[in-house]
Chain A
Amino acid sequence: MLLDENLILKDVEATSAEEAIRLMAGNLFEKGIVKESYIEAIVEREKNFATGLPTKGYSVAIPHTDKEHVNEKAISVAILKEPVDFVIMGEESETTPVKLVFMLAMNESHSQLELLQRLMQIFQDDEVLHSLAHEESKTKIKDSLLQLLNFQLKGGE
């Protein structure tokens, strides 16, 4: 699982959910982590199955799509300069203003349970979300996420 400074985008200026998603997916493609097809696939997926999640603090979104578009497992995080509206997961049109986008590139089904559970724990902690949203250093964001997600980064993976 890859999570490094190159995948953490700060002060992202986007005017719509789609723009934010395209920017993040484009970055993942440039880094070779996903195939080009991932970009359209994830935009389409978000339209049909929205991933905005209201929390006690900043709303988050977890765009993701099918594994065939993914080369390498990774998480990309974008902190938006101004929140943009994402449709809420499970709702037809109701939106929530999202500040933090966690884009998932996953290449196996049913294999990321612990990681996802830890991610959801982050979403349930408004203080953690607040500190991630306001941290200036990408390295610190990465380090605290790695710690929170309890990655085992052995052998420089």
Chain B
Amino acid sequence: MKKKQILIACGAGIATSTIVNDAIESMCKENGIAANLVQIKITEVGGYVDTADLLVSTTIVQKEYPFPVINARAFLTGIGLDEAKAEILEQLKK
């Protein structure tokens, strides 16, 4: 299976995406998924439109993209975390 490219985005590309990036990295390892994680600012998503398979964002995503978008707030608050992880895994296994 082709290595999936996952964009991890937040407003600044510094704080919350760092946490989410690490959590998804561990999640991929645990599940034996080889993925290419790219940590970016939400304003940089446009540069990856042709290559990304999934966008995981802690911040609001106002544009339409050709790949699924998953809200990552659960990785920060722990509320709804299992659901968010399941949703991401489901997309990665496609």
Residue among B39, B57, B60, B77 making CB contact with A124, cutoff 8 Å: B77
Q: How far does the Cβ of A20 sit from chain B's closest Cβ, in whole Å?
A: 18
Contacts of B52 in A (CB 8 A): none
Q: Which of B7-15, B28-36, B86-94 contacts A (4 or more CB under 8 A)?
A: B7-15
Q: How distant is the Cα of A113 from the Cα of B57 in the complex, in angstroms?
A: 17
Q: How distant is the Cα of A65 from the Cα of B12 in the complex, in angstroms?
A: 6
Q: How distant is the Cα of A62 from the Cα of B59 in the complex, in angstroms?
A: 13
A67 within 8 A of B: yes
B42 within 8 A of A: yes
Q: How far does the Cβ of A127 sit from chain B's closest Cβ, in whole Å?
A: 14
Measured CB to CB, the nearest residue on chain B to A62 is: B15
Residue among B19, B71, B73, B78 making CB contact with A116, cutoff 8 Å: B19
Q: How distant is the Cα of A104 from the Cα of B11 in the complex, in angstroms?
A: 13
Q: How distant is the Cα of A89 from the Cα of B42 in the complex, in angstroms?
A: 13
Q: How distant is the Cα of A34 from the Cα of B43 in the complex, in angstroms?
A: 24
A-B contact count (CB 8 A): 76
Question: Is A109 within 8 A of B13, CB to CB?
Answer: yes
Give the contacts of B60-90 with A (CB-CB under 8 A).
60, 71-73, 75-79
Q: How distant is the Cα of A113 from the Cα of B39 in the complex, in angstroms?
A: 13
A-facing mask of B49-63, CB < 8 A → 1, else 0? 000000001111000
A120 within 8 A of B: yes
Question: Is A66 within 8 A of B12, CB to CB?
Answer: yes
Knowing A120-B76, A124-B78 touch, does A112 contact B18 (C-beta < 8 A)? Answer: yes
Question: Is B19 within 8 A of A117, CB to CB?
Answer: yes
Contacts of A64 in B (CB 8 A): 12, 14-15
Question: Is A53 within 8 A of B15, CB to CB?
Answer: no
B22 within 8 A of A: yes
Question: Is B18 within 8 A of A110, CB to CB?
Answer: yes
Residue among B14, B42, B60, B76 making CB contact with A92, cutoff 8 Å: B60
A43 within 8 A of B: no
Q: How far does the Cβ of B26 sit from chain A's closest Cβ, in whole Å?
A: 11
Q: List 17 A-B contacts (CB under 8 A).
A: A56-B79, A62-B15, A64-B12, A66-B12, A88-B73, A90-B71, A91-B60, A109-B18, A112-B15, A113-B18, A113-B22, A116-B18, A117-B19, A117-B22, A120-B76, A120-B78, A123-B78
**B residues at A contact (CB < 8 Å):** 10-16, 18-19, 22, 39, 42, 57-60, 71-73, 75-79
